[in-house]
Structure 1
Amino acid sequence: MNERPSRHVIRPSGCPGLLRVVQALDGGICRIKLDGGSIQADQAEAVALVAERFAGGVIEATNRANLQVRGIGPERDALIESLLAAGLGPRNPAGDDVRNLMLSPSAGIDRRMLIDTRPLAEQILTTLQTHERFHELSAKFAVQLDGAEALAMLEHHHDLWLSALVRDGEPWLAFGFAGVPLDEPAGRVPLAQGHALVVAVLELFLDLARPDQNRMRELLAEFSADEFVTLLARRVPLQPCPDWRRVASTDGLHIGIHPQHDDGVFVGAVVPLGRLDAAMLRGAARLAREKGDGSLRFTPWQSLLLPNVRADNAAGVLARLQALGLLVSGDQPLAQLIACTGSSGCAKAMADTKADAHQLAERLHRRGQALNIHLSGCPRSCAAAHIAPATLLAVAPGRYDLYFRDATLPGFGALQAHNLTIEALDHWLDAHPRSPLDA
């Protein structure tokens, strides 16, 4: 059993939280959940300080737009108290696990948004943390609130998703279960009923689910979605949403310089393989304070944004982010690669995925290619909450099976090659110039 701070009663779980430090090969892991992926500059500096003082100095940007501190030593209580003092904890200790609400990284500033999701998000997050019954939800149970932004992660499955639309000049929310906003919706409610809908869905889920059914997909595997909606309609008025389809998001908006809804721009840069050190995070915080609005936004693409930057300052901000070691162009091969912790920090990993990803990036750079590839140390796919176009699944140190995404197949998709080294993948690419990777 992991040590726990004496002043906080935390339920057992394998998932790290701010109040629950989980042990890994490289030390303890503390996960800091950020409201809508946003963090203030002084809070970011606090994370950098505790990573240096109480851990190995490694800070991870996660695919749910949160932060993790790795390599935590025996002073975990001091680390937790420092983060709580910085205002990074939950409103209620028992509510830390359930504050899983994903927004667009450009919520409130996106040029294509239909609504500013942040006021409703604040309502939902408060309720998740303070409604005692919701503390029964799994630490993996997650909600997505989508304002129809151009910059939005639409591939991560959520237990409940809500997506903005406009009918007759009025804002509504389409919604669905165990999927993504690109799916066919289960119905719609007026925007003003969005909070009531979330509460009703979560309460109905808890009423119906057995103790072993932690996720909506598990409940719906034996209790049909139509039955669920029928019962839900008794709690909150619903309307059908037959002809609505979410327009796909725009690729690449999480990196570079992009105009906002009003004045100014946001500037994005990718965290190399999802890992920051304290100097990088501290430098980005300083930039946010000097050239932005004093905040940073982390993204599901393991990148960060500086919002509300003056357009005439944007190029300089991008250059300074690059000088800190962040990736500022999608043409950089490392900016397109995803890799899990790997065998250097995880006992389940079959290979050192981070080191192999760096080797792969060097080879791709020599080829003049930047390919979207996910390196996973084991089948759990911790680094990617969606199926990447190509996955290298480790089978032994330095060796991988290559898969291409195929919507008709489960898991990573269709197996293309077995037991490849990174060097052998280079030769495989030469021999298959018409593969989906080169499309």
Structure 2
Amino acid sequence: MPPDKAGIIPRLYPSTGSPVNPTPAVNTLRPSACPGLLRIVQALDGGICRVKLAGGSITAAQARAVADVALAYAGGVIEATNRANLQIRGIGAEQDALIAKLLAAGLGPSNASGDDVRNLMLSPSAGIDPQMLFDTRPLADEILATLQTHPRFHELSAKFALQLDGGEALAMLEHHHDLWLSAFVRDGQTLLAFGLAGCPALDAPLAAVPLEQGHALVVAVLEAFLDLASPAQTRMRHLPVDNVLGHLNLPLLPIDGFKRSPSGASLPIGTYPQAQKNQFYVAALAPLGRLDATMLEGTAQLASDLGDGTLRFTPWQGVLLPNVEKPHAVTQRLAQLGFLCSVDQPLAHMIACTGSSGCGKALADTKADAVQLAALYPGHDVHLSGCPRSCAAAHTAPVTMLAVSPGRYDVYFRDPAQPGFGRLHAHNLSIEATGALLRARPRSNTDD
């Protein structure tokens, strides 16, 4: 079947006989520019498969399956995404075999049409964070099941995204979502504040509901969006908020008393105590969001040997191992595998998209340039983007370098009064000149 105009090959849902996919469908996937598990999108370096993880969590056996198919059917490159999913890059001709192996490992949706809409972000420390107001995972499971099984919700854009925040200390609060819910306590009752087309860190909620109404709220908001949106209006930001609120057939509560404390960890690296006694979680970053099969296989083995047999990926493009009793040994092994385990490592403060080595839209080799910049010790958190789409960072970084040609960048500083990347500070700088500029500039308290 020839690719469509976006370069996507529509595929049929393979039947694996696996109990995790009890009703394989023969639906042809709708065209989309976003990769999924069932839809391989072509890039300069080969096909891309995105494996969506429930709450960022994956078992050790599933992680091994991802590592195995990345080696067998692709170039061995695995990416941790900024929404706590995994991507396999460089996929060759045996796409169907790769998909079938991932489905057999239980990494697919409950039906073909539900793959695109599994976009629900949780804290990486859901269920184990000492500051959590409730364990978000059961409600998240309920929401994800509804997204996959309610046929009408399959009309949502593959980019349509939700966030469920349980008040954890470790939480990415700056990524914008079409619908976000954030827990708070008032008069001894746990409530869920919610907002549209925004995020808990920057936007005031619109209203609240009791915790037990959280699932009903999600359903009501999504139904309202689909009732009101035209085909061209694919995201919540395309609709007036009052129209959506007025369409909800659900009693709403005031937001008096809501205050979301900032995330306790500006960069999730290190060892943290859990709510469970004598248990810890250990967090590290994948350098520039990249892993190879050996790193993922080694982390899976580490989770089996010194953890509970699970891994969690984070929106900071890193990994977290929960329920650890010997955190020092885990950290030591993660460092040996090639993860960044200290905030003192300059590369831990770099974000970079795929760049021109793998993406036809990028104007520079951003990953190579990020490594070069890190060696210059710029002293800031920096995002390098090969084009204005900003694929690597879903929030505005303190410093953004936007490529204008190979090795040359416009430099922006985050400014709440300016849209997009912020305020343009310098044009067409080399990596060396950018490093000198940043070293001479004091680190701002707005840095992540």
Kindly tell me the number of residue pairs found equivalent between the two proteins: 426
Equivalent residue letter for 1:231: H
Gaps of 5+ in 2: 14-25
The 5-angstrom pairing of residues 46-61 of structure 1 reads: 46-61=65-80
**Alpha-carbon distance between aligned partners in 1 of 2:264 and 2:85, rounded to the nearest angstrom:** 22
1:23 partnered with 2:31:
no
Partner of 2:410: 401
Deviation, structure 1 residue 168: 1.9
Which of 372, 379, 399 matches 2:388? Answer: 379
Partner of 1:317: 330
**Alpha-carbon distance between aligned partners in 1 of 2:405 and 2:343, rounded to the nearest angstrom:** 30
Deviation, structure 1 residue 86: 0.3
Which of 284, 309, 323 matches 2:299? Answer: 284
Which of 109, 112, 117 matches 1:93? Answer: 112
Deviation, structure 1 residue 436: 3.5
Partner of 1:304: 319
Which of 364, 376, 388 matches 1:363? Answer: 376
Q: Is the 8 A contact 2:380 2:443 kept in 1?
A: no
**Alpha-carbon distance between aligned partners in 2 of 1:420 and 1:165, rounded to the nearest angstrom:** 45
Gaps of 5+ in 1: none
Deviations 1:366-403 (A, max 9, x none): xxx54200000000000000000000100000000110
**Alpha-carbon distance between aligned partners in 1 of 2:252 and 2:382, rounded to the nearest angstrom:** 41
Equivalent residue letter for 1:255: I
Equivalent residue letter for 1:239: L
**Alpha-carbon distance between aligned partners in 1 of 2:267 and 2:282, rounded to the nearest angstrom:** 9
Partner of 1:219: 239
Q: Is the 8 A contact 2:353 2:384 kept in 1?
A: yes
1:269 partnered with 2:278:
no
**Alpha-carbon distance between aligned partners in 2 of 1:134 and 1:375, rounded to the nearest angstrom:** 34
Which of 244, 248, 253 matches 2:258? Answer: 244
Q: Is the 8 A contact 2:40 2:47 kept in 1?
A: yes
**Alpha-carbon distance between aligned partners in 1 of 2:300 and 2:403, rounded to the nearest angstrom:** 36
**Alpha-carbon distance between aligned partners in 2 of 1:109 and 1:125, rounded to the nearest angstrom:** 20
Deviations 1:190-227 (A, max 9, x none): 1110000000000000000010000000112xxxx234
Partner of 1:162: 181
1:429 partnered with 2:433:
no
**Alpha-carbon distance between aligned partners in 2 of 1:5 and 1:379, rounded to the nearest angstrom:** 30
Q: Give TM-score, length-normalised by structure 1.
A: 0.95
Q: Is the 8 A contact 1:29 1:71 kept in 2?
A: yes
Which of 174, 179, 187 matches 2:193? Answer: 174
1:88 aligned counterpart, secondary structure: coil
1:190 partnered with 2:196:
no
Deviation, structure 1 residue 6: 3.6
Poorly superposed stretches of 4+, deviation over 4 Å: none
**Alpha-carbon distance between aligned partners in 1 of 2:238 and 2:269, rounded to the nearest angstrom:** 36
Which of 348, 367, 370 matches 1:335? Answer: 348
1:354 partnered with 2:338:
no
Q: Give TM-score, length-normalised by structure 2.
A: 0.93
**Alpha-carbon distance between aligned partners in 2 of 1:396 and 1:92, rounded to the nearest angstrom:** 43
Deviation, structure 1 residue 167: 1.7
1:97 aligned counterpart, secondary structure: coil
Q: Is the 8 A contact 1:254 1:304 kept in 2?
A: no
Q: Is the 8 A contact 2:355 2:367 kept in 1?
A: yes
Partner of 1:255: 269
Q: Is the 8 A contact 1:4 1:77 kept in 2?
A: no
The 5-angstrom pairing of residues 37-52 of structure 1 reads: 37-52=56-71
2:247 aligned counterpart, secondary structure: helix
Which of 231, 244, 260 matches 2:247? Answer: 231
Equivalent residue letter for 1:436: S
**Alpha-carbon distance between aligned partners in 1 of 2:406 and 2:253, rounded to the nearest angstrom:** 53
2:351 aligned counterpart, secondary structure: strand
**Alpha-carbon distance between aligned partners in 1 of 2:166 and 2:295, rounded to the nearest angstrom:** 30
Once superposed, what is the RMSD of the aligned Cα atoms?
1.4
Q: Is the 8 A contact 2:184 2:259 kept in 1?
A: no
Deviations 1:136-165 (A, max 9, x none): 000000010000000000000000000111
**Alpha-carbon distance between aligned partners in 1 of 2:133 and 2:32, rounded to the nearest angstrom:** 38
Equivalent residue letter for 1:277: D
Q: Is the 8 A contact 2:69 2:101 kept in 1?
A: yes
**Alpha-carbon distance between aligned partners in 2 of 1:97 and 1:397, rounded to the nearest angstrom:** 34
